[in-house]
A and B are shown apart, each in its own frame.
Chain A
Amino acid sequence: MPRRPDASPQTLQVLAALLEAPDAWQYGYDLSRRLRLPSGTLYPILVRLAERGCLETRWVEPERAGRPARHTYRLTADGRALARSRLAAARPAPRLAGEGA
């Protein structure tokens, strides 16, 4: 059975990390280190989220001269809604009393 879009474990990790501080702009490398996701996994996820309008992107001027501008990310309102719904759906349903004994 085909899976839901934006529901892979890695995407959920990214959504959860971005939702933790929804107003903060986050760097790709920081996300990669925190989530232990390689760049080749993280960036395609960011690209897809941005293409769906779930992710805002912004270039930030470097703190030190001579360094390149960096790309930063945060969830849009749609992105936050998507993150909440995907994370809620991914959470295991609570067990009923007496179940699974």
Chain B
Amino acid sequence: MRSLLRRGDRACGAAADAVARWSARLAEPSRRAWVEALRAELDIVDGGPARLLWALGGLSLACGTRRRSLNRSWHSWPALLRTSAFGLALAAVLAVGIVWSNVIVPSHESDDEYTFWYLVFYAALLGYFFLAGFVASRPPNRLLSGAWVGAATAVLVALIVLVTFIVIDNLFLDVVMQQPDKLNGFQRSGLTSARDYVNQGLFAGLVGVPIVLGAFGAAFGALGGLVRERLDHRRPAAA
């Protein structure tokens, strides 16, 4: 037991040295001397776990400046890009996922089998709108700018996802029409052309979905902006 504790203590000490070294490397030049100062004290700190905790403080000091400079550069982005960055990033990921799951490795299972995961996805989407509002909203009115960012994110995601579906459904109609949900829907629609069937739904969605999703995006983005505003007020100006 005692040897196990000793081993754990030594492992913590080694981890502390590694963290302190890495923090010094990570720190911006203006903070490096401070991280080195903190690292120099490590020699005095007693016990592996205490050394590790001390070293983690150095990491937070190093990361704090990195985070601030990242934040500064983010806020220097043009407003249009900053507002649409979250939407473009998610839409790009979703577009790749859609091409992958519909064309490259097409699934032949019904959507009903994934109901739970769809719910998880929608919840994550709302969380993403919240995050967009939290990060990209700007003072003095974070509530309003959060709503704008959330709405822009949602509308961009909806439009790019729908356009991706329109493109792949028309280019790879024979592949996507093997999906059981599409086949059943087509048979029930009474239409004679599969292309007309997929386009009818998608073009109708192009009008309605961005509006509905945009409203959700605005609401959750505004909530993100509001939470950020509250946190900013609670945080002291310095120290």
Contacts and interface: CB of A to CB of B under 8 A. Distances in A.
A6 B41 contact: no
Interface string A12-46: 00000000000000011100100000111111111
Nearest to B60: A40
B43 A43 contact: no
Contacts, number: 81
B61 A43 contact: yes
A3 interface: yes
Contacts of A32: 54
A71 B37 contact: yes
B64 interface: yes
A48 B68 CA distance: 14
Given A29-B41, A38-B57, A39-B58, A2 B239 contact: no
Contacts of A71: 33-34, 36-37, 40-41
A62 B239 CA distance: 30
Interface string B38-78: 11110111000000011111111100100000000000000
Contact of A47 (B56, B61, B236): B61
B21 interface: no
B56 A40 contact: yes
A38 B34 contact: no
A53 interface: no
Contacts of B37: 28, 43, 57, 70-71
B80 interface: no
Contacts of B36: 71
B40 A68 contact: yes
- Secondary structure of the B contact surface, majority rule: helix
Which of A42, A46, A47 is the most central at the interface, judged by chain B CB atoms within 10 Å of its CB? A47
B238 A43 contact: no
B38 A39 contact: yes
A75 to B, nearest CB: 15
A10 B40 contact: no
Nearest to B54: A39
Which of A32, A43, A71 is the most central at the interface, judged by chain B CB atoms within 10 Å of its CB? A43
A98 interface: no
Nearest to B233: A2
Interface in B77-98: none
A69 interface: yes
Given A28-B38, A71-B37, A5 B57 contact: no
Interface string A42-78: 1111111000000001000000000111110000000
Interface of B: 31, 33-34, 36-41, 43-45, 53-61, 64, 233, 236-239
Interface of A: 1-8, 10-11, 27-29, 32, 38-48, 57, 67-71
Kindly list the 8 A-B residue pairs having the minimum CB-CB distance in the complex, ordered from nearest.
Answer: A39-B57, A71-B37, A40-B57, A11-B239, A5-B238, A40-B60, A29-B41, A68-B40
